[in-house]
Amino acid sequence: MLEHVAGVAVLGVIAASGTGKTTLLRRVIPHLTADGLRVGCIKHTHHPFDIDQPGKDSYLLRAAGAEQMLLGSAGHWALMVDTGDTTDAPLAELIARLDLARLDVVLVEGFRGEDIPRIEVHRHELGLAPLCRDTANVVALATNQRPTPTVAVPILDLDDAAAIATFVAGRVRRFAPLRARGAHA
């Protein structure tokens, strides 16, 4: 299981579509950053996307055949890479593209087929059984179900972002000694 890369913790968030994975991350990340942690995110999408805009110089250069186009400005940069692949890049390859020296944790949304630890988001009102009963590598269940379901992992209150952030920070800090030594997964 990929729990860290060079001492940078890797933790996924999974749930059925529309359950609130992004909403949970948006609520938890400010608590993590307030706690001094540097957060990176990788989100899987099933839809084609392009951050570049037709007609802009960078778009025209890519259209002319540049396989990589880096846009840079004060405070930001973005790299578009046209791979030509018809399958998703492996998560480990995408993580390696991040500036890991500037991060403490990489939060991953989606990538269900990857072997990483995950927090499951579960909303009782959707009427679905928790995935953690049949899904490997779920390390906690964030749910609003009362009474809480019987599962073999810690249960977190879905409505308590600070408590979820505390759980995440605890996992992140387990890898701090590895980070200091520059260890790899």
What would the DSSP string read from start to end of 101-134?
A: GG-SEEEEE--TTS---EEEEE-GGGTPPPGGGT
d(CA 39, CA 106): 6
What would the DSSP string read from start to end of 13-27?
A: EE-STTS-HHHHHHH
**Whether the model pTM is above 0.85:** yes
Q: For residue range 132-162, what is the model confidence (pLDDT) as tens digits?
A: 998 889 999 999 999 999 999 999 999 999 9
Q: Are residues 36 and 72 in the same domain?
A: no
Q: Are residues 13 and 81 in the same domain?
A: no
Q: Are residues 142 and 104 in the same domain?
A: yes
In this predicted structure, what is the pLDDT of residue 49?
A: 61
Q: Are residues 10 and 30 in the same domain?
A: yes
Of the residues 58, 87, 116, the one at which a domain ends: 87
* Buried b or exposed e, range 28-39, using 16+ CB within 10 angstroms: bbebbeeeebeb
Q: Are residues 126 and 176 in the same domain?
A: yes
Q: Are residues 8 and 96 in the same domain?
A: yes
Q: Are residues 95 and 15 in the same domain?
A: yes
Q: For residue range 99-141, what is the model confidence (pLDDT) as tens digits?
A: 999 999 999 998 888 999 999 999 999 999 999 998 889 999 9
Q: Are residues 127 and 164 in the same domain?
A: yes
Determine the structural domain holding residue 79 and report its residue range. 49-87
Q: How many residues does the chain have?
A: 185
In this predicted structure, what is the pLDDT of residue 26?
A: 97
User: What percent of the chain shows pLDDT beyond 70?
Assistant: 93
Q: Are residues 22 and 107 in the same domain?
A: yes
Of the residues 67, 87, 107, the one at which a domain ends: 87
Q: Are residues 72 and 144 in the same domain?
A: no
Q: Are residues 115 and 34 in the same domain?
A: yes
Q: Are residues 103 and 152 in the same domain?
A: yes
The total domain count for the chain is 2
In this predicted structure, what is the pLDDT of residue 48?
A: 64
pLDDT band at 50 (very low <50, low <70, confident <90, very high): low
Residue 179, pLDDT > 80, answer no
Of the residues 87, 111, 144, the one at which a domain ends: 87
In this predicted structure, what is the pLDDT of residue 57?
A: 86
